[in-house]
Each structure stands twice: as structure tokens, then as C-alpha cells.
């Protein structure tokens, strides 16, 4: 591991706790491409941390959801007992424990990151998030009772089936979270901040949402503008958004076929001028970005076999349209997707 202050985790040695995720959120490539999820043994993680702490006083714990890792409380307890500190990537609101929060406080961590993804429970069911609003607010109360942590919240806009009401419920949820933070912090007199990170949904290959298009940039910009306006007068809340124009580029690279390689080369040759590269392209990039795909369509990446059957992805796609959740990934116990057994949906 190379340690440098010029990275997201700064001068920390990064330790991978696991790879993949069994939560099966339908927009997330990590939950599908890296199946089955593999969590490192607690003893192996501790050995890696011991090695890391010989070179550095801080470790960065990496996983799709650190709070889902078996033995995470034992691991973080060991670090703080030895007088060192740690940071984590992202946490699941429904698996954060008091013990983990206590260790994060002792380690001097100031900000926690959780990802509701959507403001409404309906849209979270569409995404298969398995996260109720009351669980989010209960966890926020627990966090704020423990310390004056700031909370970073990740949301997506432009998700499939999203309505104006779904976007409005982002604002409602954030206000409730802020209220809970203030109430839980009253006795202490100090309260953390809320930092919203609002990003555009980008369809990804090998996920149930691969058939959906990117939402029109004008609509995404309008939603971002409305969210900022709706929260601008709320104290202790900062809203950050990505740039829809770059979401367009990401969607093109994600959804395009081999012909997009020429656009990529053109952008490189023009010094990163994507506007120029797209304008003079011999293909229409909107074909890949804005066009819904048919379920029977042969997709550019269909020749790649990573174990998950297309039938399973289609079933998940149809459940999303009904706002119905499916079970999480149980390694070696279920045989729905095709990775663990050839007796999967086909």
C-alpha cells in the first residue's frame, strides 16, 4: 500500500475487510459483479491490521458496508485499545451498533457516511434497499446520542420510476434527520452537520437496472436546483451535487458498445474536451444514454459470463417495476442468481 496525503483516505494504510456485497441493491454493480460476496476471516483482517500499524498509526477499513462485516466490533476495539485510530468507508444504517459507534468516537472519527439512496420507502423498495425510514431515524438518534458526529448522506436522483413526490421526500427525510440530531444532542450542547451528496443515477451493466436509461440532463438539473432551494434555509445542512454533464459521459461509457471507443480516443486527443468529442462523433451518443433497452435485446456486454443468469436480472427488473423487494444474497444457501449453482433461474 502506498500512503500519501493526496488521496481520499490520506496517510492511512487501507485494509480490505471484504469484497462484494450481499444486499443486492438493484442499481449497484458491486452487489452483482462481485458475487458471491466474500468477507475475510477476522483473524486474517487482524493480521493485516497488525502489519499496517507497523508502518502507520491509522488504518482505513474498506468494504461495501463496513458495519456488515462479521466481527467488526472486535476489530475496531482492538485498534483503539492499541492506541491507534481508524476510519471507515460507508455504513449501513440498519447494522450500525453502539459498540462500533463508541470505537469510532474513541478513534477520533468526526463524520459517518450512510446511504438512504432515496427519500421514500417506495423508491427504496424499487431499488431493493431493504431500509425503512424509521430505522434510518432511529440510527441517527443513536449516532447523535453517542457523539456530535457529522453525518454524510448519499442520495440518488433519476432512479427508475422516480416521481416528484419521491424527490420531495428526500427533503422531508433530511429535515426529520436534522430534527432527531438536534433533539438527541440537546443535553450535550454540540451538534454535527449534515452533508448531502446527491448524485445522478447511472445505469450499469450486469445489474437489474441495466435496461433503464439515464434521465434527461435538463430534468436532473431541475431536481438538483429544487433540492438546494428547498434546504438552503435549513441550518446545519449542506447540499453537494454532481454535474449532470459528467453523468452523461459516465452513462455513455457504461452503456456503450465498442464504437464508443472512438469517442474516448477523440476526447483524449482533444485534451479531455468531451463536448468536442461528442459533437463530432460519427455515432449518436444519445442512442446509448437515453434509450430504454428491450429485455430481449442483445446488450454489448452479454458475451461476458460472470455467473449471474440474465433471467435473474430480468426477474429483479420486473420486481422493481412493482416496487417489490427480493431477498438478500445468502451464499451457498440460495440458488436464484446462478453464481453458487447451475440450478439457478434460467
Q: Is residue 24 one of the residues assigned to a domain?
A: yes
Q: Is residue 173 one of the residues assigned to a domain?
A: no
Distances 298 to 41, 125, 257 between C-alpha atoms, Å:
40, 28, 11
Please state, in angstroms and rounded to a whole number, the distance separating the CA atoms of residues 209 and 302.
14
User: Is residue 200 within 8 Å of 212, Cβ to Cβ?
Assistant: no
Q: Is residue 22 one of the residues assigned to a domain?
A: yes
Q: Domain span at residue 103?
A: 1-109
Q: Is residue 154 one of the residues assigned to a domain?
A: no
Q: Is residue 47 one of the residues assigned to a domain?
A: yes
User: Is residue 144 within 8 Å of 181, Cβ to Cβ?
Assistant: yes
For 192, list phi and psi in degrees, rounded to 5.
-80, 175
Q: Is residue 324 one of the residues assigned to a domain?
A: no
Q: Is residue 339 one of the residues assigned to a domain?
A: no
Structural domains in the chain (count): 1
Select from 28, 31, 36 the least CA-distant residue to 335.
Answer: 36
pLDDT tens string for the chain (346 positions)? 566 666 666 678 899 999 999 999 999 999 999 999 999 999 999 999 999 888 888 899 999 999 999 999 999 999 999 999 999 988 999 999 999 999 999 999 999 999 999 999 999 999 999 999 999 999 999 999 999 999 999 999 999 999 999 999 999 999 999 999 999 998 888 999 999 999 999 999 999 999 999 999 999 999 999 999 999 999 999 999 999 999 999 999 999 999 999 999 999 999 999 999 999 999 999 999 999 999 999 999 999 998 999 999 999 999 999 999 999 988 877 888 988 875 445 4
Whether omega for the bond prior to residue 100 falls within 30 degrees of 0, making it cis, is no
- Whichever domain contains 9, its CATH number is 3.30.750.210
Q: Is residue 204 one of the residues assigned to a domain?
A: no
Amino acid at each position: 500500500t502506498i500512503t500519501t496525503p493526496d488521496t481520499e483516505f490520506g496517510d492511512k494504510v487501507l485494509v480490505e475487510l471484504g469484497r462484494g456485497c450481499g444486499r443486492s441493491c438493484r442499481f449497484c454493480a458491486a452487489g452483482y459483479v462481485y458475487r458471491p460476496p466474500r468477507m475475510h476471516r477476522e483473524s486474517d483482517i487482524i493480521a493485516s491490521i497488525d502489519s499496517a500499524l507497523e508502518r502507520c498509526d491509522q488504518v482505513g477499513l474498506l468494504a461495501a458496508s463496513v458495519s456488515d462485516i462479521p466481527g467488526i466490533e472486535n476489530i475496531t476495539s482492538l485498534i483503539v485499545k492499541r492506541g491507534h485510530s481508524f476510519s471507515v468507508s460507508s455504513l449501513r444504517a440498519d447494522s450500525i451498533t453502539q459498540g462500533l459507534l463508541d470505537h469510532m468516537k474513541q478513534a477520533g472519527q468526526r463524520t459517518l457516511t450512510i446511504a438512504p439512496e432515496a427519500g421514500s420507502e417506495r423508491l427504496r423498495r424499487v431499488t431493493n434497499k431493504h431500509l425503512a425510514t424509521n430505522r434510518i431515524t432511529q440510527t441517527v438518534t443513536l449516532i447523535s446520542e453517542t457523539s456530535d458526529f457529522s453525518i454524510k448522506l448519499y442520495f440518488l436522483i433519476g432512479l427508475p420510476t422516480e416521481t416528484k413526490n419521491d424527490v420531495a421526500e428526500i427533503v422531508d427525510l433530511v429535515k426529520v434527520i436534522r430534527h432527531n440530531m438536534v433533539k438527541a444532542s440537546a443535553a450535550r450542547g454540540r451538534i454535527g452537520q449534515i452533508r448531502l451528496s446527491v448524485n445522478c443515477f447511472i445505469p450499469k451493466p450486469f445489474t437489474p437496472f441495466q435496461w433503464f436509461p439515464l434521465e434527461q440532463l435538463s430534468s436532473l438539473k431541475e431536481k438538483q436546483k429544487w433540492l438546494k432551494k428547498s434546504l438552503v434555509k435549513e441550518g446545519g445542512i449542506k447540499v453537494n451535487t454532481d454535474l449532470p454533464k459528467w453523468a452523461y459521459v459516465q452513462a455513455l461509457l457504461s452503456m456503450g458498445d465498442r464504437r464508443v471507443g472512438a469517442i474516448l480516443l477523440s476526447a483524449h486527443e482533444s485534451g479531455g474536451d468531451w463536448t468536442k468529442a461528442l459533437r463530432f462523433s460519427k455515432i449518436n451518443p444519445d442512442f446509448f444514454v437515453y434509450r430504454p433497452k428491450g429485455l430481449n435485446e442483445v446488450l454489448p456486454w452479454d458475451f461476458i459470463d460472470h455467473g449471474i443468469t440474465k433471467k435473474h436480472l430480468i426477474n429483479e427488473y420486473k420486481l422493481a417495476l412493482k416496487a417489490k423487494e427480493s431477498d438478500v444474497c445468502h451464499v451457498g444457501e440460495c440458488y436464484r442468481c446462478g453464481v453458487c449453482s447451475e440450478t439457478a433461474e434460467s
